[in-house]
Amino acid sequence: MVPGGTGNEGGRFVNHGADNTHTHTLSQGRNLSHGIKSLIVLGLLGSMSAALGLISITSGEDGGVSAAHASPPPPPLATTLFSAVEFTPVSATPVRHSGELKSRQTLTELVTNLGASPSDAAAALHTIYEKELLDPRRLRPGVKAETFIVDGQMRALNVKADADRNLYITRNMSGGWSATELKARLTPSYSRVAADIETSIYDAARAQGAGDQQVVDFASAFAYDVDFQREIHRGDSFELVYETFVDERGHPVKTGDVIYASLDGDALTRSFYRFAPSDDGVPDYFDQNGESATKFLMKTPINGARLSSSFGNRRHPISGYTRLHKGTDFAAPSGTPIYAAGNGVVERASRYGGYGNYVRIKHANGYKTAYAHMSRYGPGVRAGKRVRQGDIIGYVGSTGASTGPHLHYEVYIKGKPVNAMKLKLPTGRKLVESPEMLKEFIARKAEIDGIRSNQGARLVASNPLQAPPTP
């Protein structure tokens, strides 16, 4: 229970996650209090303004209220907070306090810290919970809130629920609170990053403005083909095109999917286009021949690790004997997640001698993979459990005969250990096998190449895919 609160945090509001926030519009009359009958112009201030344009709200015929995003020009910053015929004009300039939700903090606590009384904070937030504009149980640290205080009393509160969605709560004449959802109208755009690799793809991409997520997407597209620690060299080059969304003022508000990822290096030269075939709707990265990047098994079932020992004969660091090292070692900090390299069924998830905490997965076609020295197992991982490629099956540790935290990874084909790094793996989907999907892909590929070209890419004439003749 929050001090002075209504007890609504953690309440009954469901089904309002990030997945459906885009379905809400401002046209719902019930979202606005009856007290507001006149034109209200909200010019949002300061840091919160990035995602917002001018919103005007007018009375409808039936007493309902409709709203629309006004066209540019944008409102001046730091104008009056609000003005309306029924409101007492705000004489004093509101004092603005903004802050971010910390972990283990409630939104009521944050708003109270920003100068609201506990009862005002709770009552104002209650309006957005009640309208299911925000699910208090799904709040993540980092959510921004902004209070507007006049004479020690909160007059308005803005909660930045998403990159493109603000919840604006104002005190009305009767002392109650009215909430309005303000959505930025975002325009999709694209950014392109291309560079030679000096230190790492991460550094080069970040230096040119890409975010962490874009680098992760890039790495996952290539995770089946490349060992990033061992096979990327100085002088290799890459290209990355990703979605960005800009608001009415042209400010980038958020970034989206990587739609093109290309690597031109010593180890591998390959390009991938993001495409979701309409038959299964599953987005994947396909190369220019319409072959999926996804393979039967991942080459590296762990992110950000350093290959520390390869498959082959070596002197064992503990026993001192030279013998076959049946796996590949990846050094990584303790606790780093380890992924199922492919779909399959867990055969064993238990302590196994020198292997320590050990998981073995049985895949199709006689393949098995094993993972050793884990600090602990992934959620629900036990013998008999069906896992999908990329599921977390455990975490890096140093259990068993191990000299330090690392993943020891083994691949077996029909009981025989093989070198995972040299494995020629069965491939994923090939679009040439579905002519209709191949046609879709060719169209999407041309679209993406057009975007690349607009963004300054010099397109190399490649052997273009031919759509199959229509029978």
Q: How far is the CB of 305 from Zn ion (least distance, A)?
A: 13
Which among 293, 386, 378, 380 has a CA at the least distance from the CA of 343? 386
Q: How far is the CB of 398 from Zn ion (least distance, A)?
A: 12
Q: Of 314 and 348, which has the nearer Cβ to Zn ion?
A: 314
Q: Of 274 and 408, which has the nearer Cβ to Zn ion?
A: 408
The count of residues interacting with Zn ion (CB under 5 A) is 3
Segment (H or E) for 357: strand 357-362
Write the CB contacts of 374 (distance below 8 Å, at least 6 apart in sequence). Answer: 338, 356, 357, 358, 359, 394, 395, 396, 397, 399, 407
DSSP at 236: -
Q: Of 326 and 348, which has the nearer Cβ to Zn ion?
A: 326
> Interacting stretch for Zn ion, rule CB under 5 A, among 53-61, 69-77, 221-229, 323-331?
323-331
Write the CB contacts of 189 (distance below 8 Å, at least 6 apart in sequence). Answer: 243, 244, 245, 246, 252
Q: How far is the CB of 378 from Zn ion (least distance, A)?
A: 20
Residue nearest to Zn ion (CB): 408
Write the CB contacts of 96 (distance below 8 Å, at least 6 apart in sequence). Answer: 45, 46, 146, 147, 148, 149
Distance, CA of 327 to CA of 343 (rounded, Å): 20
Which among 447, 356, 367 has a CA at the least distance from the CA of 394? 356
Residue-wise over 313-336: b if at least 16 C-beta within 10 A, else e? eeeeeeeeeeeebbbbbbbbeeeb
Q: Of 135 and 329, which has the nearer Cβ to Zn ion?
A: 329
> Interacting stretch for Zn ion, rule CB under 5 A, among 115-123, 325-333, 342-350, 452-460?
325-333
Distance, CA of 8 to CA of 2 (rounded, Å): 9
Q: How far is the CB of 328 from Zn ion (least distance, A)?
A: 7
Q: Of 277 and 327, which has the nearer Cβ to Zn ion?
A: 327
Cα→Cα distances 319→3, 90, 402, Å: 61, 79, 11
Q: How far is the CB of 393 from Zn ion (least distance, A)?
A: 17
Write the CB contacts of 134 (distance below 8 Å, at least 6 apart in sequence). Answer: 13, 16, 128, 159, 161, 167
Q: How far is the CB of 372 from Zn ion (least distance, A)?
A: 7
Restricted to residues 404-463, the positions that interact with Zn ion (CB under 5 A) are 408
Q: How far is the CB of 308 from Zn ion (least distance, A)?
A: 8
- Residue 382 phi, psi (nearest 5): -155, 165
Distance, CA of 42 to CA of 51 (rounded, Å): 13
CA angle 412, 416, 418 (to 5 degrees): 60
Restricted to residues 13-72, the positions that interact with Zn ion (CB under 5 A) are none
Q: How far is the CB of 458 from Zn ion (least distance, A)?
A: 44
Q: Which of 248, 329, 410, 440 binds Zn ion (CB under 5 A)?
A: 329
Q: How far is the CB of 212 from Zn ion (least distance, A)?
A: 30
Distance, CA of 371 to CA of 378 (rounded, Å): 12
Q: Is 373 in the site for Zn ion (CB under 5 A)?
A: no
Restricted to residues 381-410, the positions that interact with Zn ion (CB under 5 A) are 408
Q: Of 403 and 453, which has the nearer Cβ to Zn ion?
A: 403
The residues binding Zn ion (CB under 5 A) are 327, 329, 408
